[in-house]
Amino acid sequence: MSQWLPRATLAVLGAGVLASAAAAQDWRPLDPQNTLVIDTTKGRIVVAMRPELAPEAVARVKLLSREGVYDGLLFHRVIDHFVDQTGNPNNHDGGVSAHPNLPPEFTATLPATTIEAVAARKSDGLMGFIGPNPIAGIASQDGATVRTWGLYCAGVVGMGREADPSSANSEIFFMRDASRRLDHDYAVWGRVIEGLDVVRAINVGEPPKAPDKMIRVRVVADLAPADRPRLEVADVRGTAFARQIARLRRTRGADFTPCDVIIPIRAEP
């Protein structure tokens, strides 16, 4: 992993603002099979996982969570304005699980309909969202498919690796801020929908003098209904979200990117 870039300017879409104008159809419940709850020494992080972007990475994160491999592991390398790294069983860079390494999942060719909202277009490319994850892509000549990659914006989560592109295994990292130079080089497997403040509160250091840790990591589907987070996420295909995007684009102009957007959440009504 490389060193940090200056903090990106984020135009935050407040959940309260969106909620006041949004109808019920502008919100989506969590997908219990693809939502991860990470309880840390600084608080809870909830991640919406996107198997469309990196199916093997998502499957590996679920497997290691269910095996208890992630429970108790330290955030062993934390760089302010950049990333929180964790997930290595030896709590150092280069540690791996008992499972084989993963192939690169830096891009995915997906049906154009998978991209739920296109936020901006530049030349023959596009930018938008797959669920809460910001993406960029290039459409096929007939427009039916898009070669897609995740954007490393604040809150995005990725798979760590060594120099070999096929060396991802168990390490995961959380973006404290945007660092787009990671695009195309590390598999994006989801985004933090609750707890970005927790991500940014994790103790900094290489390694930190007093490292924080993941206390327990669970797939929401494995939790009793009473223990599941009761949240809804803004539907990026909804009319309320489209209005907010239009407002942001007017404000940011040509500088607008999906990294300017933080997806609102709300408690289940």
pLDDT digits (tens, 9 = 90+) for 62-84: 999 999 999 999 999 999 999 99
Task: Give the residue, 209 or 262, on which the prediction is more confident.
Answer: 209
Is residue 58 within 8 Å of 74, Cβ to Cβ? no
Average pLDDT, the chain: 88
Question: Could you tell me the CATH number of the domain that includes residue 213?
Answer: 2.40.100.10
In a domain, 2, yes or no: no
Q: How far apart are CA 15 and CA 249, in angstroms?
A: 18
| Predicted pLDDT of residue 147 | 93
Q: How far apart are CA 193 and CA 50, in angstroms?
A: 12
Q: What is the pTM of this model?
A: 0.90
Confidence of residue 94 (pLDDT cuts 50, 70, 90): confident
In a domain, 21, yes or no: no
Q: Is 68 exposed, middle or buried (0-12, 13-18, 19+ CB in 10 A)?
A: exposed
Nearest in space to 181 (alpha carbons), one of 54, 45, 59, 6: 6
Looking at the 3D structure of the chain, how many domains does it have? 1
Confidence of residue 19 (pLDDT cuts 50, 70, 90): very low
Residue with tokens 């290039």: 138
| Predicted pLDDT of residue 78 | 98
In a domain, 93, yes or no: yes
Percent with pLDDT over 70 in the chain: 88
Cis, peptide link before residue 207, omega less than 30° from 0: yes
HEC secondary structure over the chain: CCCCCCCCCCCCCCHHHHHHHCCHHHEEECCHHHEEEEEECCEEEEEEECCCCCHHHHHHHHHHHHHCCCCCCECCEEECCCEEEECCCCCCCCCCCCCCCECCCCCEEEEHHHCCEEEEEECCEEEEEECCEEEEEEECCCCCEEEEEECCCCCEEEECCCCCCCCECCCEEEECCCCHHHCCCCCEEEEEEECHHHHHHCCCECCECCCCEEEEEEEHHHCCHHHCCCEEEECCCCHHHHHHHHHHHHHHHHHCCHHHCCCCEEECC
For 203-250, what is each residue's pLDDT tens digit? 999 999 999 999 999 999 999 999 999 999 999 988 999 888 889 989
Task: Give the residue, 105 or 24, on which the prediction is more confident.
Answer: 105
Q: How far apart are CA 191 and CA 263, in angstroms?
A: 10
In a domain, 9, yes or no: no
In a domain, 150, yes or no: yes
Domain of 176, in residue numbers:
31-231
In a domain, 265, yes or no: no
Q: Is 195 left (phi over 0), alpha (psi -120 to 50) or beta?
A: left
Residue type for position 197: D
Would you say the C-alpha torsion 103, 108, 109, 111 has a positive or negative sign? positive
**Integer distance in angstroms from the first to the last C-alpha of the chain?**
41
In a domain, 252, yes or no: no
Confidence of residue 5 (pLDDT cuts 50, 70, 90): very low
In a domain, 196, yes or no: yes
Work out the average pLDDT over 36-60.
Answer: 98
For 107-134, what is each residue's pLDDT tens digit? 999 998 888 766 545 456 788 999 999 9
